[in-house]
Structure 1
Amino acid sequence: MPSLHESARDEPAGLTTRTLIFGRAPVAGEAKTRLIPALGPAGAAALQEHLMADLLERLSEAPRARLELWAAPDASHPTFGDLARRHALSLHRQYGENLGQRLAHAARQGLTRADAVLLIGTDCPDLTADYLEMARERLRWSHAVLGPALDGGYVLLGFKRLSHHLFDGMPWGGDRVADLTRQRLRDLRWSWSELPALADIDRPEDLVLLPPGLQPPWPVLAHAAD
């Protein structure tokens, strides 16, 4: 495996990056389903919409990241069109039967337009433009970059070439995703850099981690804060 210094010598000075943002349509009963016990179907969908809008507002300050919005189950929901127009983003439909396939498909497309891709979701209220820039800079001297989530998943994964080994058969939604990703990076003999771990909002107990501007205006069941 090449050393980090060897990788740095081989890295072009003008690394171009695409940030692929994976969002789900805020449809009641289909969005943020693990939060439905606390927020109800409509409340969970509303939070999904708020998280997407807030993320794109923050990341619009990172022009070098070249944001793309990847929509599921398709790009027809008006929220996607509104956000894409507001932030001048390209809008794409996610393809694949599971999350791993959808991530790999989008990454393959993104790498036809840039030297590297950063894959992120919309569940992390602490992911900022500075965090993206840090990830982009780390890719100048490593094959990949990983932004772990506090729950054992990840909030960001970036790389300069695609390997399906990073996605196939991954137990998505579990607490071993980041550890398994690290092991698969070792299998590939890739160098990688890790960013600070951040919290994402997936379960009722995570709602206490929302910043004040994103606290739900709707009633939340008491057990969500236990």
Structure 2
Amino acid sequence: MKPTRIVIIAKAPIPGFVKTRLIPALGPDRAAGLARRMCEHAVHVAVDADIGVVELCVSPTPSDPAWHQLALPDRLIWSDQGGGDLGARMARAAERTIRGGESVLLIGTDCPALSATHLREAAHALHEHDTALAPTADGGYALLGLRHFHPLLFDNMPWSTETVAFETLCRLGRLGWTVKNLRRMHDIDEPADLKWLPQGWRSEADPFVPG
């Protein structure tokens, strides 16, 4: 049975570079602050899941000073996303991991609802299914688990639209791969999504919620 690696696709919390769709509500600095908190949360959840190697696949490169401000555990493998659109960057990470003999759980940092339990459930699902998918309410997905690689799942995908999860499922069907659908979650991309932040993040004193 192949081991499973969690690969977190992450952007550095640089104002104006990350969470740009939240800037109208939060401003660039507070949007970046929220991105930092979500990135730290995602990494700690992945480590707590304790299912295998946790890799932080980042943009800009791991040597960028912006990464030094995050409170992250030492138990991490770092990698550079490289160029191309989101699909190209995810495909590169997935193919490298699978060719190395591991299954992969691809996640981002935008879904605080994604827990260690969900990650363990997805990893377990890959013992019996080719893929695992955790859809999000906006039509995307928070997690894609794969035992095999195929570029069809990443090439010319309409990223950041409401059809990503549906299109991914259609392509999985074309490949004839089995899929375990996990429960739908909410990610944090638009100002209207801020209400889905964890309760402890939404207190009146929290600097991320607009007044």
TM-score (norm 2): 0.92
With over 3 angstroms needed to count, the CA separation of the structure-2 counterparts of 1:177 and 1:112, relative to structure 1, is same
- SS of 2:189's partner is coil
With over 3 angstroms needed to count, the CA separation of the structure-2 counterparts of 1:85 and 1:128, relative to structure 1, is closer
Alignment pair present for 1:191 and 2:178 = yes
2:88 alignment counterpart = 101
**What value does the CA root-mean-square deviation take over the aligned residues?**
1.8
1:149 and 1:85 map into 2 onto residues whose CA distance is 26
* Matching of residues 130-169 of structure 1 within 5 Å: 130-169=117-156
* Matching of residues 65-214 of structure 1 within 5 Å: 65-78=52-65, 80-81=67-68, 86-214=73-201
Higher alpha-carbon deviation: 57-66 or 47-56: 57-66
TM-score (norm 1): 0.86
Question: What is the CA distance between 1:171 and its match in structure 2?
Answer: 0.9
C-alpha contact 1:25 1:73 (8 A) present in aligned 2 = yes
Which runs of 5 or more residues in structure 2 are unaligned? none
With over 3 angstroms needed to count, the CA separation of the structure-2 counterparts of 1:36 and 1:72, relative to structure 1, is same
Give structure 1 regions of 4+ aligned residues with deviation exceeding 6 angstroms. Answer: none
State, as a whole percentage, how many aligned pairs show the same letter. 40
Higher alpha-carbon deviation: 68-77 or 142-151: 68-77
C-alpha contact 2:83 2:89 (8 A) present in aligned 1 = yes
Higher alpha-carbon deviation: 30-39 or 204-213: 204-213
Question: What is the CA distance between 1:112 and its match in structure 2?
Answer: 3.4
Alignment pair present for 1:53 and 2:55 = no
- SS of 1:21's partner is strand
Which runs of 5 or more residues in structure 1 are unaligned? 1-13
- SS of 1:58's partner is helix
